[in-house]
Chains A and B, each alone.
Chain A
Amino acid sequence: GNSVTQMEGPVTLSEEAFLTINCTYTATGYPSLFWYVQYPGEGLQLLLKATKADDKGSNKGFEATYRKETTSFHLEKGSVQVSDSAVYFCALTGGFKTIFGAGTRLFVKA
């Protein structure tokens, strides 16, 4: 079946550092890929998505590229802020089901 694996956290960075959170997937067919973000005490909200190979999703300075050859969808940001502290979830949709990774907690220090 489909699955998503993302790097374990927590990840602790200083403000303005470069961020990478790795995500790899296993799926049949051509899934859509997503990054969701969860701020403390809230539900998840969409950060960015890509629906086909080589697509790049971007939002709020975050980017991720759908790499079919490496089955990856790594999240990157060039300069993180304290307000980016949250839990980040990689996810894929195949058929009618969306599968989430375990989540990566990010702490950004001022």
Chain B
Amino acid sequence: NAGVTQTPKFQVLKTGQSMTLQCAQDMNHEYMSWYRQDPGMGLRLIHYSVGAGITDQGEVPNGYNVSRSTTEDFPLRLLSAAPSQTSVYFCASSYARESSGNTIYFGEGSWLTVV
């Protein structure tokens, strides 16, 4: 069982570069999301999707784009990297039901440094 797989695990970018963090899940989950984790701030929601073709913004969407062309994949794009985007990024998925008690499954994280 692969679960949620995200790549790359580590990446160093220069300011202004663009890149895509890949995320795939094999559990047929409708709901997928991206979080960033910063010291003292917990996890903050960047973007989420409740199904193929449907995406919405979370708490901190600026500087990031997402798309959801298939149920399995949910890539996160950094358009023009900035040092403020240095963080650990987590992709997550779950069955989508509003106000549900569904467990969220996380990938192992992607450590991104922007210099």
Contacts and interface: CB of A to CB of B under 8 A. Distances in A.
Interface footprint category on A: 20 to 34
Contacts of B21: none
Contact of A93 (B56, B90, B101, B106): B101
Nearest to A90: B42
Interface in B29-73: 31, 33, 35, 40-45, 48, 50, 56, 58
Interface footprint category on B: 20 to 34
Contacts of A101: 42
Interface stretch (A14-22, A38-46, A71-79): A38-46
A96 B31 contact: yes
Interface string A94-105: 111111111100
A34 B94 CA distance: 14
Interface string B1-38: 00010000000000000000000000000010101000
B99 A30 contact: yes
Contacts of A34: 103-104
Contacts of B31: 96
The SS class assigned to the A binding surface is strand
B114 interface: no
Most B CB within 10 A of own CB, among A31, A34, A43, A95: A43
Interface string A37-73: 0000111111001110000000000000000000000
B42 A44 contact: no
A102 B50 contact: no
18 contacts: A29-B99, A32-B100, A36-B104, A41-B109, A43-B90, A43-B108, A44-B90, A44-B106, A51-B100, A89-B43, A94-B99, A95-B98, A96-B56, A96-B98, A97-B48, A97-B58, A100-B35, A100-B42
